[in-house]
Amino acid sequence: MTNLIFKPDLSNALNIAMKECKDPYAQTYLRAIPQAIAESEAMGISAESGLKTQLLYCLSNMRYWKGETAKNCKAVLKRYSSSECPFIKGTDTVNN
């Protein structure tokens, strides 16, 4: 398994979502991020692709999480789920 570190803003958004988003399904998908990355790589798919897909599942289940903090966190997750590389290049440990 390739070991990667999330970019700081993504890591921060994920940590806040874990603490503040109360939706049990969103929590399940958030906790499963490391597994999704590992499974993607095991199937020959990039870690980045696996994470991006998992972020979409997380976002789908965060639709009732409201407020300024939620808006900011979801904006970060959305950005990383669609285009920007979520990892710091050349890293060798997973940050989750």
Encode the chain (96 residues) as per-residue pLDDT tens digits.
456 788 889 999 999 999 999 999 999 999 999 999 899 989 998 888 889 999 999 999 999 999 999 999 999 999 888 876 777 655 444 444
pLDDT (0 to 100) of residue 96: 41
Contacting residues for 14 by C-beta, under 8 A, at least 6 apart: 6, 30, 33, 77, 96
The separation between CA 57 and the C-alpha centre of its own chain, rounded to angstroms, equals 9
What is this structure's pTM? 0.84
Evaluated on CA atoms 13, 18, 23, 26, the torsion sign reads positive
Q: Please state, as a whole number, how many other Cβ atoms lie within 10 Å of the Cβ of residue 30.
A: 22
pLDDT (0 to 100) of residue 48: 85
Q: 87 pairs with which residues across the strands?
A: 6
